């Protein structure tokens, strides 16, 4: 009992250090900084280098971490936030995700993908307190958390710079008019938040005695959850939220088992987003005031091709296996077609309906598991499962997303991320059905009427055929009144609703159809890999697919497929790119949003 409480407090302190940064950045920049966990990770590595390589004592190591991660925080602001300040918060969400992706993968290349041991240079003594044990490190972490909170409070409420930060957070325009240099405030906030995050990374490394390049992902998740619990933008709220999260986790680990730590965090995240999106302590917000006119973001229109071009490309793609004797390009292209299907389906949500979804991998996972279970447990043939599984996945997907569909922008995006994670965590924990972490193996190869498809050419054609169906359906939908309704929601939800477009229904339709084809892609992959596990389709896949549609052009099916082909084929054909694949995705995402936000296959007008 005491142990859990103490444990929860210590972990809560660590979360608080990341959460205050996330909440402060949200206040001044209006974005949930998805690169925050990566700054934390870099901080941990800086500390590890100082301690394990240079054998520095802890205090100078901490100072180095503070300085280094503040610099990284600044870099994120300069490269991924400031240039996009006017582009809107959902774009900022994407650019910070990209920055995080770049850092995480750069860290793998620089320091290696393996876990590094980090031994604490602190004295190892501990003592008993009311039935629990307290170590020196525990005390150190508590002191660091409380000290930071106090310093931050003094800064915000006692200094001129702190006043500027608060003014900017309250109303950026008004602050500008009062002569606040909001750019400096933004830099300052990112630097401070970065320093706290780095410190937190180092302390977590010391606490668990190890660090690894992808450790930032869970920090972003936990920090965001804590910040949301407290209400985004609210610093004391974030600290409170961090304690709530830390203690809840500690007790659920005790009572339910250690695999529930992350599941509990996800449940809290989704719960707060759906039931109290403004945090546990704030009141309900009233109707938003009417926007002033003239804030349109032009979306670009699909490039026009000569009439014969698309059919000609389609026919040549179908005929390709006849001319290629080398199976390798066919295998790569088959994967590209499956990703094209995912991209086309995501485009319906993110391009046509204008909602950023970060959980597309969840739909793919649903389809893959549905088919794996239906074919191996219930003996359904592949051909039937290819039809049934997507329906099943779409139904489950819509059911899961439904409560979240009234959220907008970043809030919906974060919820979809949470749902995506939740789906793989359920796959991980529901062992009776999914075989848990072992995954499901020996999934039958795809095939029709007893003839299995095993050749690369066969897989290629199957994938292409399903892709064509997907493109055709999405194209028809998007040209019908439904497409119009979805776009109207993207442009202005209030006006759309005033003309009879029930937001829940039409968003459900977009998510449902999208989930259907994402799941079909999952079915194809499950049967061609013959094996799936809870971590086969991850958050990284969701981001990869998003990158494809930003590259190809939002609301443009041809662009989505082209984006998929480029992003899949390019790293395969240029060997040395393989290792840098995700860095390339990150750079492409930022670069496209900066220099060609319409995508390659849309034109400005």
Partner 1 sequence: MILLSVRNVHKRFGGLHALRGVNLELEEGETVAIIGPNGAGKTTLFNLISCEDSPDEGEILLDGHRIDGLPAHLAAAHGLARTFQNGRVFGNLTVLENVLLGAHTRLHGLTDPGSRLAGSVLAALREIAWSIIQPRRFRRREAELTEEARDILSLFGERLIPRLHQPAYSLSYANRRRTELARALALRPKVLLLDEPTAGMNPTETEEMTEIIQTLQRRGQSMLLIEHKLDLVMAVADRVVALDAGEVLVSGRPEIVRSDPRLVEAYVGRRGAGHSVPDSAVTLQKQA
Residues 6+ apart with CB under 8 A from 469: none
Partner from ligand ATP, partner 1, none binding residue 379, C-beta < 5-8 Å depending on class? none
Residue with tokens 């020196």: 136
Partner from partner 1, ligand ATP, none binding residue 450, C-beta < 5-8 Å depending on class? none
Partner from partner 1, ligand ATP, none binding residue 172, C-beta < 5-8 Å depending on class? none
Residue 419 and residue 370: Cα distance in Å, rounded? 17
**Helix, strand or coil for residue 128?**
strand
In eight-state DSSP terms, residue 598 is T
Rg (CA), the chain: 25
Q: Which is nearer to ligand ATP, 287 or 498 (CB)?
A: 287
Q: How far is the CB of 293 from ligand ATP (least distance, A)?
A: 13
Q: How far is the CB of 453 from ligand ATP (least distance, A)?
A: 58
Residue 282, class by beta-carbon neighbours within 10 Å (0-12 exposed, 13-18 middle, 19+ buried)?
middle
Residue 563 and residue 547 in contact, taking contact as beta carbons nearer than 8 Å: yes
Q: Which is nearer to ligand ATP, 160 or 284 (CB)?
A: 284
Residue 157 and residue 145: Cα distance in Å, rounded? 18
Q: How far is the CB of 356 from partner 1 (least distance, A)?
A: 17
Q: How far is the CB of 328 from partner 1 (least distance, A)?
A: 36
Encode 96-114 in three state secondary structure. Answer: HHHHHHHHHHHHHHHHCCC
Partner from partner 1, ligand ATP, none binding residue 181, C-beta < 5-8 Å depending on class? none
Residue 72 and residue 81 in contact, taking contact as beta carbons nearer than 8 Å: no
Draw the binding track, 323-342, toward ligand ATP (x: CB under 6 A; -: no contact). Answer: --------------------
Q: Which is nearer to partner 1, 68 or 512 (CB)?
A: 512
Q: Which is nearer to partner 1, 119 or 476 (CB)?
A: 476
Q: How far is the CB of 363 from partner 1 (least distance, A)?
A: 16
Q: Which two tokens stand for residue 189?
A: 């906030």
In eight-state DSSP terms, residue 449 is T
Q: How far is the CB of 92 from ligand ATP (least distance, A)?
A: 26
Strands 602-603 and 210-211, bridge-based pairing: unpaired
Q: Which is nearer to partner 1, 299 or 360 (CB)?
A: 299
Encode 205-233 in three state secondary structure. Answer: HHHHCEECCCHHHHHHHHHHHHHHHHCCC
Q: How far is the CB of 576 from ligand ATP (least distance, A)?
A: 56
- Of residues 283 through 312, those in contact with ligand ATP by CB under 6 A are 286-287, 289
Q: How far is the CB of 598 from partner 1 (least distance, A)?
A: 11
Partner from ligand ATP, partner 1, none binding residue 497, C-beta < 5-8 Å depending on class? partner 1
Residue 281 and residue 273: Cα distance in Å, rounded? 13
Q: How far is the CB of 287 from ligand ATP (least distance, A)?
A: 4
Partner from ligand ATP, partner 1, none binding residue 296, C-beta < 5-8 Å depending on class? partner 1
Q: Which two tokens stand for residue 75?
A: 């870099």
CB atoms within 10 A of CB 547: 26
Strands 126-129 and 301-302, bridge-based pairing: unpaired
CB atoms within 10 A of CB 181: 13
Q: Which is nearer to partner 1, 201 or 559 (CB)?
A: 559
Q: Return residues touching partner 1 (CB under 8 A).
A: 286-287, 290-294, 296-299, 301, 473, 476-477, 480-485, 487-488, 490-492, 494-503, 505, 508-509, 512-513, 605
Residue 590 and residue 580: Cα distance in Å, rounded? 15
Number of residues binding to ligand ATP, judged by CB under 6 A: 3
DSSP string, 55-123: ---HHHHHHHHHHHHHHHHHHHIIIIIGGGTTS-HHHHHHHHHHHHHHHHHHHHHHH-SS-EE----S-
DSSP string, 161-194: HHHHHHHHHH-HHHHHHTT--HHHHHHHHHHHHH
Residue 512 and residue 363 in contact, taking contact as beta carbons nearer than 8 Å: no
Partner from ligand ATP, partner 1, none binding residue 313, C-beta < 5-8 Å depending on class? none
Q: Which is nearer to ligand ATP, 283 or 286 (CB)?
A: 286
Residue (of 496, 495, 489) closest to 355 by Cα position: 489
Partner from ligand ATP, partner 1, none binding residue 485, C-beta < 5-8 Å depending on class? partner 1
Q: Which is nearer to partner 1, 570 or 604 (CB)?
A: 604
Q: Which is nearer to partner 1, 59 or 293 (CB)?
A: 293
Partner from partner 1, ligand ATP, none binding residue 177, C-beta < 5-8 Å depending on class? none
H or E segment to which residue 301 belongs: strand 301-302
Q: How far is the CB of 290 from ligand ATP (least distance, A)?
A: 8
Residue 479 and residue 307: Cα distance in Å, rounded? 17
Sole window of 82-90, 250-258, 281-289, 577-585 interacting with ligand ATP (rule: CB under 6 A):
281-289
Q: Which residue is nearest to ligand ATP (CB)?
A: 287
Partner from ligand ATP, partner 1, none binding residue 357, C-beta < 5-8 Å depending on class? none
Residue (of 545, 509, 482) closest to 395 by Cα position: 509
Q: Which is nearer to partner 1, 59 or 290 (CB)?
A: 290
Q: Which is nearer to partner 1, 18 or 508 (CB)?
A: 508
Q: How far is the CB of 283 from ligand ATP (least distance, A)?
A: 13
Q: Which is nearer to partner 1, 352 or 415 (CB)?
A: 352
Q: Which is nearer to ligand ATP, 174 or 256 (CB)?
A: 174
Handedness of CA 380, 382, 383, 387 (dihedral sign): positive
Q: How far is the CB of 285 from ligand ATP (least distance, A)?
A: 9
Q: How far is the CB of 490 from partner 1 (least distance, A)?
A: 8
Per CB under 6 A, residues contacting ligand ATP are 286-287, 289
């Amino acid at each position: 009992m005491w142990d859990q409480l103490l444990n929860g407090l210590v972990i809560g302190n660590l979360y608080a250090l990341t959460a205050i940064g996330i909440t402060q950045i949200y206040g001044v920049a209006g974005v949930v900084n998805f690169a925050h966990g990566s700054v934390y990770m870099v901080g941990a590595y800086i500390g590890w280098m100082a301690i394990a390589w240079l054998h520095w004592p802890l205090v100078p190591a901490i100072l180095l971490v503070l300085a280094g991660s503040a610099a990284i925080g600044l870099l994120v602001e300069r490269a991924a936030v400031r240039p996009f300040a006017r582009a809107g918060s959902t774009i900022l969400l994407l650019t910070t995700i990209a920055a995080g992706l770049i850092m995480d993968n750069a860290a793998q290349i620089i320091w290696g993908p393996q876990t590094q041991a980090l031994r604490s240079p602190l004295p190892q003594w501990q003592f008993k307190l009311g039935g629990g044990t307290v170590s020196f490190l525990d005390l150190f972490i508590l002191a660091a958390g409380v000290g930071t909170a106090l310093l931050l409070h003094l800064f915000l409420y006692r200094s001129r710079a702190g006043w500027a930060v608060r003014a900017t957070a309250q109303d950026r325009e008004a602050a500008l008019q009062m002569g606040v240099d909001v750019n400096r405030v933004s830099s300052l906030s990112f630097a401070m938040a970065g320093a706290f995050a780095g410190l937190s990374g180092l302390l977590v490394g010391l606490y668990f005695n190890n660090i690894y390049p992808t450790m930032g992902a869970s920090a972003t998740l936990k920090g965001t959850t804590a910040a949301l619990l407290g209400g985004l933008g609210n610093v004391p709220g974030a600290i409170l939220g961090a304690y709530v999260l830390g203690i809840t986790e500690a007790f659920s680990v005790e009572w339910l088992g250690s695999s529930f730590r992350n599941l509990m965090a996800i449940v809290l995240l989704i719960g707060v987003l759906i039931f109290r999106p403004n945090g546990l302590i704030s009141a309900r917000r009233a109707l938003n005031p009417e926007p002033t006119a003239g804030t349109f973001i032009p979306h670009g229109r699909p490039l026009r091709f000569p009439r014969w071009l698309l059919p000609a490309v389609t026919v040549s793609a179908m005929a390709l296996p006849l001319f290629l004797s080398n199976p390798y390009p066919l295998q790569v292209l088959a994967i590209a077609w499956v990703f094209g299907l995912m991209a086309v389906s995501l485009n319906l949500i993110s391009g046509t309906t204008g909602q950023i979804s970060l959980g597309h991998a969840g739909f793919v996972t649903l389809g893959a598991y549905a088919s794996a279970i239906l074919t191996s447990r219930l003996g359904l043939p592949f051909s039937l499962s290819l039809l049934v599984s997507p329906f099943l996945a779409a139904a489950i997907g819509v059911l899961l997303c439904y409560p979240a569909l009234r959220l907008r922008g970043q809030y919906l995006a974060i919820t979809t991320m949470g749902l995506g994670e939740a789906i793989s965590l359920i796959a991980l924990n529901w062992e009776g059905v999914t075989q848990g972490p072992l995954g499901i193996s020996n999934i039958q190869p795809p095939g029709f009427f007893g003839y299995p498809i095993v050749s690369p050419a066969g897989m290629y054609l199957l994938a292409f055929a399903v892709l064509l169906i997907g493109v055709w359906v999405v194209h028809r939908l998007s040209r019908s009144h439904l497409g119009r309704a979805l776009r109207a929601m993207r442009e202005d939800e209030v006006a759309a609703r005033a003309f009879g477009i029930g937001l829940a229904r039409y968003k459900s339709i977009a998510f449902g159809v999208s989930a259907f084809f994402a799941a079909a892609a999952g079915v194809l992959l499950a049967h061609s890999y013959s094996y799936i596990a809870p971590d086969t389709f991850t958050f990284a896949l969701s981001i990869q697919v998003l990158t494809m549609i930003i590259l190809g052009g939002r609301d443009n099916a041809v662009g989505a497929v082209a984006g998929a082909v480029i992003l899949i084929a390019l790293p395969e054909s240029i060997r040395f790119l393989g290792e840098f694949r995700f860095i390339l995705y990150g750079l492409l995402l930022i670069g496209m949003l900066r220099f060609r936000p319409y995508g390659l296959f849309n034109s400005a007008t």
